Amino acid sequence: MSSKGVISVLVIDDSAHNRRTLSTMLESEPDVRVVDRAADGEEGLKKVVDLKPDVVTLDLEMPKLGGYTFLRLLMRTAPTPVIVISSYSHRSDVFKALELGAFDFIAKPQHPTFEAMEALRVELLEKVRAARHVRPGYRHAAPGARAMAVAGEPPLVVAVGASTGGPPAVQRVLEGLAVEPTPCVLVCQHMPPQFTRAFADRLDRIGPFSVTEARDGDLVQPGHVYIAPGGRHMVVAERGSRLELHTPPSTPVDKYAPSVDRLFVSMAQVLGAKALGVVLTGMGADGAEGARAVHHAGGEVWAQSEETSVVFGMPGEAIATGVVKRVIPLGDIGPALAALARRRR
């Protein structure tokens, strides 16, 4: 962190207009200072080494040295929290950037109205401030083989909540769970609309489960992972002897959509003592209220350990409720879920 608590930021973007816009947004608050700007990855890498900023904002498509190569070199030589600024048209690129070590991403508004740009400013400042809590993320092992869906009722349904640092963490959990492909996993990852579908598609290609963005009325099936759609919620309901998913729209009072709390509460109401919620890395307290509901219904709540979380906000808040049964390093969560699934069969 820079002196006097001011967060120093380097802005890297090949568009002069974007550099000016982001700089103005960042310096609209006194605790953030733009130390410099760079027009490409090569220039940006040199300035990171020279200036040692607290945070970097990065456009992935740049001349000379592209965003992916920049991230690989940066994480090898001068690891620094990076926030990717992405357009909706390149949403699939975001997940590769996160795997390469980017801290988080922000989607550019499709229509730059005053309200959309103000929302971008608020989100940008929130994530830059969160960077002071960044912890190094895990590198991932090679993805496992795709699991085959198993007919019949799932012996275990797992609800997973995540935010900042979540996409690579969710992938790591699924890779660790690949040895026991019978559970159904419901993932609530804070992410804008359309990006959740790209996230599901990416996880589906690399295995180990069949992964889709949840649709209203989907039946909960073993061997499947359902990603809550951005901008909507995902809740569990009963349909006779089966479970199905509903995806209600967000309301003006919702801070997060999708909401981990909403998912966990529905798990508690429908599954009772069989409910299992896992809180992964992320900013804020989403999941804490839901953790209480799962616990009071007789279910279990697990949380990712502090030393393996990119940001310990969500797991820390869940743990602070006193209802979390297990605090587990990220690399151990998947195997622990697999072991639990085998015991419950």
Percent of the chain with pLDDT over 70: 92
Average pLDDT, the chain: 90
Task: Kindly indicate the confidence band of residue 239, based on its pLDDT and cuts at 50, 70 and 90.
Answer: confident
For residue 124, is pLDDT > 70?
yes
For the residues 56-83, what does the mean pLDDT come to?
91
Q: How far is CA 297 from CA 234, 300, 301, in A?
A: 19, 9, 11
Catalytic-residue membership of 286: yes
| Beta strands 55-58 and 82-86, pairing class | parallel
**Nearest CA-CA partner of 258 in 297, 302, 213, 217:** 213
For residue 210, what are the β-bridge partners?
224
Q: Please write the tens of the pLDDT for every residue from 164-177.
A: 999 999 999 999 99
Catalytic-residue membership of 93: no
The domain ranges of the chain are 7-132, 157-344
Q: Exactly one of 190, 224, 233, 295 is catalytic; which is it?
A: 190
- SS3 call for 267: helix
- SS3 call for 95: helix
Q: Please write the tens of the pLDDT for every residue from 84-120.
A: 998 776 777 898 899 899 999 999 888 889 999 999 9
Q: CA 75, 137, 142, 59: dihedral to nearest 10 degrees? A: -50
- SS3 call for 205: helix
Q: Exactly one of 8, 86, 163, 259 is catalytic; which is it?
A: 163
Catalytic-residue membership of 163: yes
| 124: enclosing H helix or E strand | helix 114-130
For residue 119, what are the β-bridge partners?
none
Structure tokens at 301: 């709540």
Structure tokens at 225: 């992972």
- Would you state the pLDDT for residue 178? 87
Q: In whole angstroms, what separates CA 257 from the centre of its chain? A: 13
The beta-strand segments (E) located in 130-254 are 157-162, 184-189, 210-213, 224-227, 235-239, 242-246
Q: Exactly one of 13, 93, 261, 286 is catalytic; which is it?
A: 286
CA distance 97 to 72: 9
Q: Please write the tens of the pLDDT for every residue from 145-163.
A: 344 444 444 569 999 999 9
- Half-sphere exposure in the Cβ direction for 285 (13 Å, CA): 6
Q: In whole angstroms, what separates CA 128 from the centre of its chain? A: 16
